[in-house]
Structure 1
């Protein structure tokens, strides 16, 4: 499961062609982290770098690949809208855009970065983007952590 770094339009086209523009897919899981923490002595450590990262698992109803994981490094913004009650969460189509040095994944192919405040879409922007085939990660099982039912 090697990571493929997206650097330019060719890398974006390869990702979108490989995953058929996210047609009939779903965002299964999302995991976000940064370098901030509180140690055992209750001292807080904070980074001043752009250190937020997000991993997203997408699954779809087709083979080769059936699931991919995307890694967004140096996240600028994350705007994910869950499906409302009585609606499904199927992604009909999504795209990846590179604009002014940032990568954007968005579930609306008509969306532009300038529309971010005005359009209702799920999207994420970051300084760097990687992806990999994780087709063995199909099914209901959570991959980013166990949900404690206590």
Structure 2
């Protein structure tokens, strides 16, 4: 599965066009990492630039593709709203846009950068975006890690 880089406003539309604007999809998994770490001698390395990356794995009820993975690099802001108990986690439509040199994804089609909808919208902003077809990852298996009982 090769990553496809998104460069600008023009080719960002390839993702929602290919994935049906995320209609009847779900956020299956999310993985966040930074380049900060502590080495074996307990020295900490902390990069000065934007070092947070987020991978998000989506599945949907349509084919071609039925699953995609988005990779946001240089994340500047990140807000995920969890579905409350007894509510579904279905995404009915989404926004994917390029604005002021940042790539944005939000789980509402009418969302715009600067909207103060923290209570009702999940969204992410980053300096770089890549995506890839993940159709071979259908089903309930976790792809970013396995949580075992007792951990």
TM over 0.5: yes
Counterpart of 2:43 in structure 1 is 43
* Contact 2:95 2:110 survives alignment (8 Å): no
Match status 1:19 vs 2:19: yes
Counterpart of 2:120 in structure 1 is 120
Gaps of 5+ in 2: none
Shift of 1:117: 5.7
Counterpart of 1:98 in structure 2 is 98
Gaps of 5+ in 1: none
**Structure 2 CA distance for aligned equivalents of residues 57 and 118 of structure 1:** 22
Structure 1 length normalisation: TM-score?
0.95
Shift of 1:118: 5.6
**Structure 2 CA distance for aligned equivalents of residues 114 and 77 of structure 1:** 11
Question: More deviation in 3-12 or 52-61?
Answer: 3-12
Shift of 1:148: 2.5
Count of paired positions: 150
**Structure 1 CA distance for aligned equivalents of residues 116 and 6 of structure 2:** 22
Structure 2 length normalisation: TM-score?
0.95
